[in-house]
Structure 1
Amino acid sequence: MSTAVACWDVDTATTSSHLAIRHRVFVEEQGVMVLTDIDAWDRDITTINVLAAHGREVAGTVRLYDLGEGRWKGDRLAVLPAHRASMVGACLVRYAVATAAAAGGTSMDASVQVANVSFFERLGWRCDGEVGPYFGLPHQPMVIDLEGVAPIASAPVSDAVLRLDSVGTSRSSLLVTA
């Protein structure tokens, strides 16, 4: 039996968990960014941040924002190492795509690490230009058409409180506790 994956829009109570997952993946693990990955899109109130839980553990996040004229951008997809073999990444991408489509978007862009291109292609994305550096790593520009994308309901983990686990080997381990 597989463990359910739930995705939902971040609110003020879960913003710190969203940022902690990103910090864990992009700063601590991958070393893509130094000190923080926070940028101007994090200060833009129209940016939509999404969390995912795998069972009762917070497992990943993504953010998306409107670029105008029907184009949306998805970025900062981050899944904690223990959940990368699950469906968390796919659920986050599908949720982001459906959210952009529901907001009237016609297409969505992403800059994807080269190792993840086939993952995105399986989800309906296509390459859109040449591979180039993004924060020092090769990334493939990709795009997906949002026409006809079905809505996905938000499904937060009910009756749960998100917290950072201060015990254990990882400074940023995230758990969901009742």
Structure 2
Amino acid sequence: MKTFLLLAFAAVSVAAEPPPPSADQVTEWAAFSKPIHLKVKEIGHGNLPPWGDAIWMVTCEAKKETFSSYVIGLFKAGNLFGKDRAKTETGIREQVKKFAELEKQDPGTDVSKMRKYLQIEVRPDGRKVYFSVLAFGPGGSLFGAFTTVGRYDLLLAESVAYEDHTPPDQRLKDPAKPTKELSDIFRQLEQHITNAK
């Protein structure tokens, strides 16, 4: 009986999923321009965005201290974006190619500044990390990054709110800003997931 229980415990231990990062970790990774108090909240399965069946998904925000907030999701490999994954990757590759052509035609324009939001990074193991603008418009922007890490798909989205329609007396005074780029934060998140295995 003891042997069976030990084997069962070992199987459960091996199969345990990496946990979401803590508020302190995300705060450190983003390196905000001044101290803030991020809160990490799990998004309930009934409220998940339609990006796939997440193992877990959390928000990291401090709405009264910064315009930037993050959504981090862990999915089983192949689950993120479901049947649309290949189409999403192809779309990003095409956008990256178009941006590169525009950049050659007119270097130093806003196209160059957008490069950090629209790129594909290749890791030493050959794995690709896709970065894209997920939404843009009045009220804010949503930038995202995703990849497959071993048995998992990993997503990081940064939402940047604008105060377009906020009365001046209700606007944030001197909001904290992340000093690290989305790509820097994503590398830390990847390390968190791989180290948790």
Instruction: Give the shorter-chain TM-score range.
Output: under 0.3
TM-score normalized with structure 2 length: 0.25
TM-score normalized with structure 1 length: 0.27
Quick check: which one's helix share is greater? Answer: 2
Quick check: which one's strand share is greater? Answer: 1
Which structure: larger Rg?
Answer: 2
